[in-house]
Amino acid sequence: MISSNDFRNGVTILVDGQLWTVVEFLHVKPGKGSAFVRTRLKNVKTGATVERTFRAGEKLERATVDNREMQMLYNDADGYHFMDNETFENITLQRDIIGDPADFLKDGMKIDVQMHDGAPIGASLPAHVELRVEQTEPGFKGDTAQGTTKPATLETGATVQVPLFVNEGDVIRIDTRDRRYIGRVQ
């Protein structure tokens, strides 16, 4: 059990028989009346978000979520195949569990997979990945307009916007959370 006073971002709880993750929380102590906690919760299965208010000190059931480090083996029509680094057990995750960052997964990459009751409920990639540019238009000498970008296809097949000076074969660092170019790797 967990008290609503102990909510933190990322805490997973059971509400009405469903798994919810706390995305935002705010403790409110009005001038009149009792204190309460205003939250934004994300449904682990569907991804839907709702706002919900709990009384201060209200007890809720905390979900047991294990983080396991897994290594990606390959992907195919069935999904993304991973190996648990401790038990060497293989599991297959669908794209909806991983989310949009799945575009940046490549063979051998290690990620954290969240498990609840033996079933995967989520995955988190590293915040930054280094990938090779497979295809992009060449930059033109003297074209130095500030903030100008061009599309580039990476080795995983993902397309991101990069500055004009990035060429094919360059290894670049990408932020997996917002698909933003960070810099070239030397």
- Range 128-184 classified under CATH 3.40.50.720: no
Q: Are the folds of 66-124 and 128-184 the same?
A: yes
Structure tokens at 47: 């991804």
- Range 66-124 classified under CATH 3.50.50.60: no
pLDDT at 172: 93
**pLDDT tens-digit readout, 113-147:** 888 888 888 888 888 999 999 999 887 666 565 67
CB count within 10 Å of CB 132 equals 14
Q: Is the pLDDT of residue 81 over 90?
A: yes
pLDDT at 129: 92
**pLDDT tens-digit readout, 153-173:** 999 889 999 988 888 999 999
> What's the average model confidence in pLDDT over 85-99?
86
Confidence of residue 53 (pLDDT cuts 50, 70, 90): very high
pLDDT at 144: 60
Report the percent of the chain where pLDDT is more than 90.
31
pTM of this structure: 0.71
CATH number of 2-62: 2.30.30.30
The domains of the chain are located at 2-62, 66-124, 128-184
Q: Are 54 and 36 in contact (CB under 8 A)?
A: yes
Dihedral pair phi/psi, residue 16, rounded to 5°? 55, 35
- For 96, the enclosing helix (H) or strand (E) is helix 95-98
> What's the average model confidence in pLDDT over 43-72?
88
Angle CA 37–43–45, to nearest 5: 160
Q: Are 20 and 38 in contact (CB under 8 A)?
A: no
Q: CB within 8 A of 116, min separation 6: which ones?
A: 12, 19, 44, 63, 64, 65, 66
